[in-house]
Amino acid sequence: MFDALYIGATGMQAQQLNVETIANNLANVNTAGYKRARVSFSDLVARDPARSAAMGDPGAGLLQPTLRLGTGVGIAGVSKLFDMGDIKKTDAPLDITVQGDGFFELLMPDGSSAYTRGGTWKVNRDGQLATLSGLPLKPAIQVPDDVQSLVVQPDGRVQARVANQPNALDLGRIELVRFASPQGLLAQGDNVYRSSSASGEAQPVRAGEEGAGRIAQGYLEGSNVKMVDEMVNLMVAQRTYEANAKIVQAADEILGLVNGLRR
């Protein structure tokens, strides 16, 4: 019965994280560019009965088959799902996103790289195109002070019209990167991610080529959270938590009966 208590406890703990993850998804259902998270579970490995018998485990023998039972559930990981959200037209010139596969590369304050799917941008105090939190694009796009309009082509070319200039100025090209396994990216908040050993190294690619998406100006990518799916997942997680709580309660009641036995 002690095993049943521990197994039920692992199930309750796992479902608590599952409910918290679903709650965070629902809280960000209207957050532009948000990618929903999903909890993956794994069963906890039982002892090898053959090894237990070889080591003289007193639990082996007649009870050997029962040792094949599992010992509960564990958390394998929490991963982000990078399927596309709905693309919404805003017509704002600084709403720039990736329509398809790929990430923008950002320069962090410590000189390292981070990555984002895009959103609403701004021109920072250094005159560079940057996120609202101030992280500039990499390579940098320098925007003139007297710019009248900014145009970002689907292939990443950035052009600006300035006063007293008949022709548009070329400011550079926005490059994209791809990852072998984007689910392994580490979320930093504000729709910013860092690479990890699970995601692999960033692979530079030009927008619209080699399977990469195209850059869309005047559009925002919405959250990929589906309200109905998350509500169903929440109900399943709640019922699973209740079932594990029943297991703990039943094991406690049986232990109470055992303690009450008299000769």
pLDDT value of position 68: 61
Q: What is the pLDDT along the chain (263 residues), one digit of tens a residue?
A: 578 888 999 999 999 999 999 999 999 999 988 999 999 999 887 655 555 544 555 555 555 555 566 788 999 989 999 999 999 999 999 999 999 999 999 999 999 999 999 889 999 999 999 999 999 999 999 998 888 889 999 999 999 988 777 888 899 999 999 999 999 999 998 899 999 999 999 999 999 888 899 999 999 999 999 999 999 999 999 999 999 999 999 998 888 888 887 65
pLDDT value of position 49: 53
The distance from CA 62 to its chain's CA centroid, rounded to whole angstroms, is 47
> Tokens in use for 92?
């704002």
63 in the Ramachandran plot: left (φ > 0), alpha (ψ -120 to 50) or beta? Answer: alpha
Nearest to 36 by CA among 79, 100, 97: 79
For CA atoms 225, 227, 229, 230, give the dihedral sign.
positive
Q: Do 76 and 43 touch, CB atoms closer than 8 A?
A: no
State which amino acid sits at residue 234.
L
pLDDT value of position 118: 86
pLDDT value of position 146: 84
Q: Do 174 and 158 touch, CB atoms closer than 8 A?
A: yes
H or E element at residue 50: helix 49-54
Q: How far is residue 92's CA from residue 216's CA, in Å, rounded to a whole number?
A: 11
| 90: number of Cβ within 10 Å | 14
Three-state secondary-structure class, residue 125: coil
For residues 196-208, b (16+ Cβ closer than 10 Å) or e, as one string? eeebeebeebebb
The distance from CA 54 to its chain's CA centroid, rounded to whole angstroms, is 45
Q: How does DSSP classify residue 211? A: T
Q: How far is residue 249's CA from residue 242's CA, in Å, rounded to a whole number?
A: 10
H or E element at residue 5: helix 2-27
> Tokens in use for 114?
């981070």
pLDDT value of position 57: 54
pLDDT value of position 64: 54
Token pair 């694009």: residue = 137
H or E element at residue 131: strand 129-131
pLDDT value of position 235: 97
